[in-house]
């Protein structure tokens, strides 16, 4: 680290930096609050989706115990074909958004399959969507936690390092400048007294 120059130019530079740090800190704090609020919302959404998924699964299993019948092949009947994901920019943090999913249902004969296959297909479609929504919700939480940690480190850097250091430097420079000014005044007074003394001696010599 370069040695601190104890002069007015350095004082102006440190004062400008301190003003910039103090100006930037509130925007960081606001960003952190936004991230924290969004993280709380994301956690609520994740809990709700987890509950919805479990309830939908339980409803499907409870209403269609016939699914356990090995004589009715269900494997591959409903598959997730495509997932469309978008992005949300929250104060510079990119968050995933589930825009749509495409579920493919294998063709089956209504006569060859029992009547409960239709509600099974609908239930599986719902579960596939809920599962993708759960995954996206979890990813949002992970990214928000990471973003909050990064912003918190920046806030701590400003609050505990940069601003206190700038304040200490300014205090040190001002004290040095004040000392230098006092020294200059003292030297000026001494010089004035010496000059006055020499003048007096010269006048005495002329008498």
pLDDT at 42 over 90: yes
Mean per-residue pLDDT for 103-109?
A: 73
Residue 117's pLDDT band, with cuts at 50, 70 and 90, is: confident
- Counting runs of H as helices and runs of E as strands, what totals does the chain give? 3, 2
Q: Is the pLDDT of residue 82 over 60?
A: yes
Q: What residue ranges do the domains of the chain occupy? A: 25-157
Residue 166 CA: distances (Å) to CA of 9, 13, 177: 14, 10, 16
Considering only 60-69, 124-133, 180-189, which range has the smallest mean pLDDT? 60-69
Q: What is the mean pLDDT of residues 118-141?
A: 90
pLDDT at 64 over 80: no
Helix axes 8-63, 117-157, angle to 10 degrees: 160
Residue 192 has pLDDT above 80, yes or no: no
Reported as a pLDDT band with limits 50, 70 and 90, residue 20 is very high
- Tell me if 122 sits within 8 A of 66, measured CB to CB: no
Residues 66 and 116: beta-carbon distance below 8 Å: yes
Sign of CA dihedral 91, 92, 96, 98: positive
Read off the pLDDT band of 189 (50, 70, 90). Answer: confident
- The rounded distance, in Å, linking the Cα atoms of 50 and 30 is 30
pLDDT at 59 over 90: no
């Amino acid at each position: 680290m370069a040695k601190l120059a104890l002069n007015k130019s350095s004082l102006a530079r440190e004062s400008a930096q301190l003003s910039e740090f103090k100006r930037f800190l509130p925007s960081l704090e606001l960003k952190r609050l936004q991230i924290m609020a969004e993280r709380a919302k994301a956690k609520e959404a994740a809990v709700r989706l987890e509950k919805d998924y479990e309830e939908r699964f339980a409803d499907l299993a409870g209403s269609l115990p016939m699914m356990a019948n090995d004589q009715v092949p269900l494997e591959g009947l409903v598959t997730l074909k495509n997932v469309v994901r978008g992005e949300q920019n929250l104060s510079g943090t990119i968050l995933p958004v589930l825009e749509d999913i495409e579920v493919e249902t294998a063709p089956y004969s209504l006569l060859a399959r029992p009547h409960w296959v239709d509600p099974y297909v609908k239930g599986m479609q719902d579960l596939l969507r809920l599962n993708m929504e759960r995954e996206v919700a979890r990813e949002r939480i992970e990214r928000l936690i990471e973003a909050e940690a990064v912003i918190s480190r920046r806030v701590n850097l400003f609050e505990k390092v940069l601003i206190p250091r700038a304040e200490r430097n300014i205090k040190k420079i001002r004290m040095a400048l004040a000392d230098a000014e006092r020294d200059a005044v003292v030297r000026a007074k001494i010089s004035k007294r010496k000059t006055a003394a020499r003048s007096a001696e010269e006048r005495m010599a002329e008498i």
